[in-house]
């Protein structure tokens, strides 16, 4: 009898606490260690999120192994070998399940864009309603960042495996830090730091999202902005960017436009609170609209650890729209309740 009680007790304990020993988050803690549901560090740097059929998918640089400064480097181009793009899924934006490496590196061809010796940064995935395909755009580069190109991969499922289609310089112009954005009308755009990072290009993609359409504008000419993160709120477009200081933090800027191709007007640093002038020691990567909530956007930043890049952290903060201003105040911890129920 006693034994039966003991077994029943153990079973109910497991039912009540199925994730004992594993990550189970009830709040966001910007800058702190963030584990996946298996208890491993979330590894999705320079990332972006796709919301599809009730699930969020977080894609990012899967950084493994030592960080090195290549021999003869003339600037702090710290790097880890490319392992590929990692993907995590979540329903609540706090607890993330690792879905695997959805675009793996290519180890047996030293000339391939995805060879471990190269650079793969800032992957973003968008869904094309017309073709039913998931399209990934990313920054691919040589170890010295001289190639400055955009890579494109495609998949039938959000969790891959993605097929790499190749790389090019969109509109015959350099492309480094980048993101992609789908507007309400289904048109998609690539934002990328071009002309050696001096100027931000905004390029309309073809209807299948696989290539530039040929229509593009040059923005923030000579202003050296990178790390673009775009969102639309109340019919206006917003763009958060950083300055260009390698892996080191600097002051963020937000710009607004009535039309996505410009003209863009810079309205200042959106960050407020301690270390706001250093973007909380982080750099923008994406802005995530929270599904089903009005005026609810999460600004995602990377807090780079330049000499140990795999140990970089994430800073996610809610965007506040108040008195005609757009701000990103520092918060040590927060929940989705900040957006109202
Ligand atoms: C800043 C960029 O935003 C990062 O993605 C990365 O390219 C580093 N520069 C490299 O120094």
pLDDT at position 341, please?
75
In 3D space, the residue among 82, 40, 87, 37 whose CA is nearest the CA of residue 60 turns out to be 87
pLDDT of amino acid 236: 98
**Ligand 1 contacts CB of residue 283 (under 6 A):** yes
Coil, helix or strand at residue 311: helix
Answer whether 48 contacts ligand 1 (Cβ < 6 A): no
Concatenated DSSP letters for 9-48?
A: HHHHHHHH-TTTTS---SSB-TTS--B-TTSSBP--EEEE
**DSSP H helical ranges for the chain:** 2-16
Reference 57, options 24, 102, 21; nearest CA is 102
Q: What is the pLDDT of residue 19?
A: 47
Q: What is the mean pLDDT of residues 247-256?
A: 98
Which of 218, 216, 215 shows the shortest CA–CA distance to 197? 218
The yes-or-no verdict on residue 221 having pLDDT over 60 is yes
**pTM listed for this prediction:** 0.93
For residue 309 and ligand 1, the question of a CB distance below 6 A is answered with no
Mutate-to-test residue for ligand 1 from 74, 82, 121, 142, highest number of ligand atoms within 8 A of CB: 121
Would you say domain 30-339 falls under CATH 3.40.30.10? Answer: no
In which band, very low, low, confident or very high, does the pLDDT at 85 lie, cut at 50, 70 and 90? very high
**Would the pLDDT of 15 be above 50?**
no
**pLDDT on residue 5:** 52
d(CA 202, CA 183) in angstroms, rounded, equals 13
Regarding the beta carbon of 225 and ligand 1, being less than 6 Å apart is answered no
pLDDT over 50 at 65, yes or no: yes
For residue 152, what pLDDT band results from cuts at 50, 70 and 90?
very high
């Amino acid at each position: 009898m006693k034994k039966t009680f003991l077994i029943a007790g153990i079973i109910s304990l497991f039912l009540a606490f199925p994730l004992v020993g594993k990550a189970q988050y009830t709040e966001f803690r910007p800058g702190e260690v963030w584990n996946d549901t298996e208890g491993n560090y979330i590894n999705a740097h320079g990332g972006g999120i796709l919301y599809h059929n009730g699930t969020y998918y977080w894609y990012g640089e899967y950084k493994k192994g030592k960080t090195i400064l290549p021999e003869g480097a003339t600037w702090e181009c710290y790097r880890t070998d490319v392992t590929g793009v990692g993907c995590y899924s979540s329903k609540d934006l706090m607890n993330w399940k690792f879905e695997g490496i959805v675009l793996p590196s290519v180890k047996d061809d030293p000339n391939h864009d995805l060879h471990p010796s190269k650079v793969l940064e800032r992957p973003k995935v968008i869904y094309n309603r017309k073709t039913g395909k998931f399209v990934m755009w990313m920054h691919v580069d040589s170890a010295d960042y001289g190639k400055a190109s955009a890579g494109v991969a495609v998949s039938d499922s959000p969790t891959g495996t993605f097929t790499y289609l190749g790389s090019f310089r969109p509109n015959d112009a350099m492309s480094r830090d980048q993101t992609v954005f789908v507007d309400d009308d289904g048109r998609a755009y690539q934002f990328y730091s071009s002309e050696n990072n001096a100027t931000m290009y905004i390029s309309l993609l073809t209807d299948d999202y696989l290539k530039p359409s040929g229509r593009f504008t040059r923005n923030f000419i000579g202003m050296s902005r990178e790390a673009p993160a775009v969102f639309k709120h109340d019919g206006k477009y917003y763009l958060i960017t950083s300055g260009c200081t390698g892996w080191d933090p600097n002051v963020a800027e937000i710009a607004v436009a009535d039309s996505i191709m410009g003209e863009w007007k810079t309205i200042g640093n959106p960050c407020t609170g301690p270390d706001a002038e250093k973007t909380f020691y982080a750099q923008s990567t994406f802005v995530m609209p929270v599904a089903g909530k009005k005026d609810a956007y999460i600004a995602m930043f990377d807090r780079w650890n330049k000499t140990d890049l795999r140990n970089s952290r994430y800073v996610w903060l809610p965007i506040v729209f108040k008195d005609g201003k757009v701000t990103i105040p520092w918060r040590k911890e927060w929940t989705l309740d900040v957006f109202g129920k």
